[in-house]
Chain A
């Protein structure tokens, strides 16, 4: 059995992504953001799952398995690992709005009420559109014609598919885009929020939520559980002022990584449980623009190296095995 455990952990640590996941697990525990019991339970669940997966033989599939375990539900439909960061916080005292950023396709295809769109634009929203779509390009060139308050479709939910959604403070997006040309805005926001999976030509929409809308929802600083196999997640903040903030994590700014800046800290981030569109009612939406570049895998090793912080792969394996 111990051989099997070692096999699983070594398979995980065999790739840059796997090492990123391992570092985040270890750092979360060392920084006191999660309990040891949670880590043990999670690793045990990963191992049980691994034993049941005859096809889990690649770095990609083991990373996907670690992701899946974090999100898997019990028979009663409860995802027991999500939102388990020790540093929960209440939003009651906060009044500032929060933002989540998503591709235009998801907004137009799943969230916006289509009859409201019709009323606004006199025609249907092109659903499966990227920046190559002239209608979307026109919208991006004149975002004011898009920006506004939209009623949402019934029977949908924000974060429903992935069981949560990520938020940042709206003021941070405004700040970071203040002196950026409209052409570059989406690319900068993508980098700032660490959204490495948002590729070239994807138009991004910012949904701005009032604090009151999410005050009653489960909400937490994200850990390795929620991040799953995200390639640019780091649990540990770099800047001393951010390290003191326990209830928010900080994204890995992709631009800063490329520029080899000492700190990668980008936007503050939290995860929030899904909200039904009926609860949200209307929502303020802003078209940020089209992402201009694709961030490939070229900095994977560099990013992982930072997280490993001179730890060796063997040390990661040993540490994880000690909790399994």
Chain B
């Protein structure tokens, strides 16, 4: 598609925030409500209604504007237009177009506005096909903007607690939260645990279908962060009906194409530890699982990982465990492990291959 020159967008360079808000709103309303589109988005009318959709065309215009000044006012203009739209059903589609544009150019300026305008559904309108679609588009837009330090996390929380939130949005919300705050992924899983449990128990999705989510998870969170915090997952081995995060372990390490591989680091019969790495990046160093003071949680994690351990050990880097809570000579640890049915293969070995299997 033919892109405007900088000279073509010069008239917009002097636009203030409210000018952009008016220009966008007038153009989008004209696009939605009027059949004659010939002069919409004047003076850039020659460059709209040519691409795949309005978002594509406006994004191209935005890309030509001066990056630091005009682009910022353009983004703020979207937020301003969103905040001023009347709370009527007629404006749902205008809201949607503005929001999609904001998503396409990552205009984080709209996030505080979304939180205010979301309430319990847009403008307090009842749930129907159009408002539900708008809700999903909002979720998708916010998910696309999620990044560390952004306000996307607050906005995503508002969306998750909205009455419009549905079970099938859970994976998208989870990945968005993980992008905003990777280290807190166990907390994000906890927040959405009920939704995902229902998805699985009602057979709306099967565990293997969630492998795509696991891949997204691994794309989003560095392996060392996953390794560090994996032990915080809720892995219940007692009550199957109790919502847990076991599906995530299965999706990460099981199935046909698991995104992660789990193996034993170190010499057999020496100091051994479970470590993980990405399946699609064999050249990358594997990362040992993080320590925990909660020995029960650690045992449960090792138990769940047992079936997925690769043989032989995939990395010959020997690592010493330095957490005294996991020292097998620590009687408290030994007691805990015995209670959970583990045995140590020999003195000096922390968690040998045998020790990780359910006995």
Contacts and interface: CB of A to CB of B under 8 A. Distances in A.
B5 A60 contact: yes
A266 to B, nearest CB: 19
A188 to B, nearest CB: 21
Interface string B169-213: 111100000000000000000000000000100001110010111
A230 B37 CA distance: 20
Contacts of A114: 133, 136
Contacts of B215: 134-135, 137-138
B148 interface: no
A75 interface: yes
A197 B169 contact: no
Contact of A134 (B47, B204, B212): B212
B30 interface: no
Interface stretch (B49-57, B77-85, B330-338, B347-355): B49-57
A48 interface: no
Contacts of B50: 64, 67-68, 71, 162, 228-229
Interface string A38-68: 0000000000000001011111110111011
A262 interface: no
B2 A231 contact: yes
Nearest to B205: A122
Nearest to A160: B53
Given A65-B46, A75-B36, A122-B205, A17 B2 contact: yes
A75 B38 CA distance: 10
Interface in A63-87: 63-65, 67-68, 71-73, 75, 77
Interface residues of A, number: 49
A123 B50 CA distance: 32
Contacts, number: 122
Contacts of B2: 17, 60, 63-64, 67, 229, 231
Interface string A116-156: 00100111101110000111011101000000000000000
Given A72-B38, A122-B209, A60 B4 contact: yes
A110 interface: yes
A73 B168 CA distance: 42
Given A53-B46, A231-B2, A126 B8 contact: no
B60 to A, nearest CB: 10
A192 B137 CA distance: 33
A58 B43 CA distance: 14
A123 B168 contact: yes
B2 to A, nearest CB: 4
B38 A106 contact: no
Contacts of A110: 53
A58 B8 contact: yes
A162 B49 contact: yes
A11 interface: no
Contacts of B49: 68, 71, 161-163
B172 A123 contact: yes
B13 interface: no
**Cβ-closest 8 pairs across A and B:** A122-B205, A64-B46, A229-B2, A134-B216, A138-B212, A58-B5, A134-B219, A134-B215
Given A59-B5, A60-B3, A68-B49, 10 more contacts: A17-B2, A61-B4, A64-B47, A77-B36, A124-B172, A127-B136, A127-B137, A134-B215, A134-B219, A138-B211
Interface of B: 1-5, 7-8, 11, 35-38, 43, 45-47, 49-54, 100, 103-104, 133, 136-137, 140-141, 144, 168-172, 199, 204-206, 209, 211-213, 215-216, 218-219, 257
